[in-house]
Amino acid sequence: MRLSRLTQAVAVVTAALILTACGSDSDTATAIIDGTPPLLTTDSNFTDGYSAVAAVFVSGQVQDSSGVKSLTYMHNNESAQALTLDTDGYFDDRILLTLGSNTIVLEATDNAGNIMRSTKTIYVGDTIAAGGSHTAALRDGQLYGWGRNNYGQTGLGLTTKSAILWDTQTRRC
């Protein structure tokens, strides 16, 4: 969160007025405004993608010069759950997932109220499906289809039969 120049100027003027009102106008004071969000780092397990298991292990660290107030996560827009931080700002926990698409938002807040968010989407479920005479599978985010195609069921936009595995999004084998 960055503060506008107007907001910064108002803060400095307010500080000067308070000092003047308190009878201490001989000292010069500068208001320091923390507009920098905390640094939130996670390990390589916390990535977008597909999972065959219904849990994700998330670990990392939150750092901020003004101190860290909290670290929470939200799973599929449910209420926020607190994650425990050690004295150095490290965390390590398991988040249970549901079948289908899972959106996880990590939110770190520092003592000045600045917020840093990290959002990941993880899909849990089948990555292969079959019909009477055709099959489709997901691999590395690409959808492949093969088999009987008399009604266009392989997703190629054609109605010709093919014995070749096709990437249905780019139509390449």
29 and 61 part of one domain: no
Secondary structure (DSSP) of 77-115: T---EE----TTSEEEEEEE--SEEEEEEEEEEETTS-E
79 and 137 part of one domain: no
Instruction: Identify the CATH number of the domain in which residue 63 sits.
Output: 2.60.40.10
Number of domains in the chain: 3
**Where do we find the tokens 């997901």?**
138
25 and 66 part of one domain: no
114 and 47 part of one domain: yes
Alpha helices in the chain, H assignment, sequence order:
5-21
Q: Which two tokens stand for residue 109?
A: 């807040």
pTM over 0.85: no
Per-residue pLDDT of the chain (173 residues; tens, 9 = 90+): 556 666 766 676 676 667 666 655 556 667 778 889 999 999 987 889 888 888 999 999 999 999 999 999 999 999 999 999 999 999 999 999 998 889 999 999 999 999 999 999 998 877 677 777 777 777 666 777 777 777 777 666 777 766 666 665 554 44
Domain with 152, as residue range(s), is 128-167
